[in-house]
Amino acid sequence: MGHVIVVDLGFGDAGKGTVVDHLCRTSPVTAVVRFNGGAQAAHNVVADDGRHHTFAQFGSGTFVPGVRTHLSRFMLVDPLALAAEADHLRRLGVTDALDRLTVDRDALLTTPYHRAANRARERARGAARHGSCGMGIGETASYALAHDDAPRAGDCLSPARLRRRLGALHDWYRTMFPSGEDVPDVAACADAFTAFAGRVRIVDGGHLHRLLRSGDVVFEGAQGVLLDEWHGFHPYTTWSTTTFANAETLLDEAGGAGEAGGAGAAARLGVLRTYATRHGPGPFVTEDAALTAALPEPHNGTGPWQGAFRAGHLDAVALRYALEVAGGVDGLAVTHLDVAGARPDLRVCYAYATPDGRVDRLPKGGGDLDRQAALTRRLASARPVYAPLGRRPVETIEDALGAPVVLTSHGPAASDKRATGQPFSRNPGTLRRTA
């Protein structure tokens, strides 16, 4: 199979977890490497025996014996949430999840202070909330941009430095949000984080280099390209790079495809549903209240921070944009084909009708948040131009996006996945296409 990078092309929740689980079950995979986001991820995997787990920080291949998880330096690691996740996996019979885990020493730590600050800031926005998960992810990233002493995983190996950095963070939180919620004292937090360091392997960057040379690795992304910090529809975005970029940076650092003994290139796999979804506020051109009512999500309900889970029709305009800003894919994984088979009323949006005329492609942009905010305002007045999704949704999607569908999913379990027989190369230059 070779190394594979799995990225959601939409607003998240397209089925990355179940795709990663399938890849780990059908090919020898050494490890799943997480390369963006943190404990806010919610990758649902349902095993054929009925076990269900929402993977947040552990790789979604953890149900498969022997598959390791590596949290790269691009991850925001929440030790307390990780412990809770390990407890749930243990109750499902996965007793060695922590034994199979490694954490890069340079990964930022998400703490109770970040989480409390996140919630205080979101409450202050009132009706203008951005749709945060309330897990402290944005605060972790923004604090690190402003403070060189932001706590990192490696600090858990140095109790004195850890307490000093947690103390500075605690004081910052109390200064910024004097009426914010109560938080643990520094000593209690430091003790918990020190215990975390005693239970998991905290490693340097050389570990990933060796891991990539030891066998095939699946890079598992979080959220979706349309939520990217620079390419998403600002301000309804995440503080995370959700494209293939971080994974490919890690590969390049490990030697890349062209160097002797290098880690090799990775195939890019883009994941999408046969219909669109979005959890929380923000532009959603193809939203359909009737679909939202008819297609409830068993594992994605309305949350106190994110808000409602919304559904709409397949949006080829937004997906073309995602493909372009992400640099294209080698193949597509299409999920929820069982829904498409049961609902002949599903449609595909090929263009937007706007006050300035018909639009079938969005400007690429990126790197300019004012420009992205202007794009968000423009989408508010866009209306979808539809055609039927049809009885052959895979072919419709391939035609609309100009990329081959290499994996299909007809239900939540591992046995519901099918390879299409389309070639899927680990050499990205051979197949990468966009519409």
Dist. CA 390–CA 33, nearest whole Å: 36
Low-confidence ranges of the chain (pLDDT < 50): 257-262, 427-435
> What H or E segment, with its residue span, contains residue 3?
strand 3-8
Q: Are 349 and 314 in contact (CB under 8 A)?
A: yes
List all residues 6 or more positions away from 346 whose beta carbon is below 8 Å from its beta carbon: 274, 275, 313, 314, 339, 340, 388, 389, 393
Task: Name residue, tokens 């948040």.
Answer: 369
Dist. CA 229–CA 245, nearest whole Å: 12
Going by C-alpha positions, the residue among 111, 76, 71, 99 that lies closest to residue 199 is 99
Return the half-sphere exposure (C-beta side, CA atoms, 13 A cut-off) of residue 382: 26
What is the DSSP code (8-state) at residue 239?
Answer: S
Dist. CA 204–CA 70, nearest whole Å: 11
Q: With the C-alpha atoms ordered 242, 21, 306, 176, is the resulting torsion angle positive or negative?
A: negative
- Determine the pLDDT at residue 131: 59
Quote the radius of gyration of the chain (alpha carbons, Å).
21
pLDDT in tens, 234-267: 999 888 999 999 999 999 998 754 344 445 689 9
List all residues 6 or more positions away from 345 whose beta carbon is below 8 Å from its beta carbon: none
- Determine the pLDDT at residue 127: 66
Tokens of 333: 């994984």
Q: With the C-alpha atoms ordered 52, 56, 58, 59, is the resulting torsion angle positive or negative?
A: positive
pTM: 0.93
Tokens of 398: 């391939």
List all residues 6 or more positions away from 369 whose beta carbon is below 8 Å from its beta carbon: 230, 234, 235
Partners of 368 in beta bridges: none
Tokens of 383: 């209306």
- Determine the pLDDT at residue 306: 63
State the DSSP string of 420-432.
------SSTTTT-
Question: 23-37 as b/e, with b when 16 or more CB fall inside 10 Å?
Answer: bbbeeebbbbbbbbb
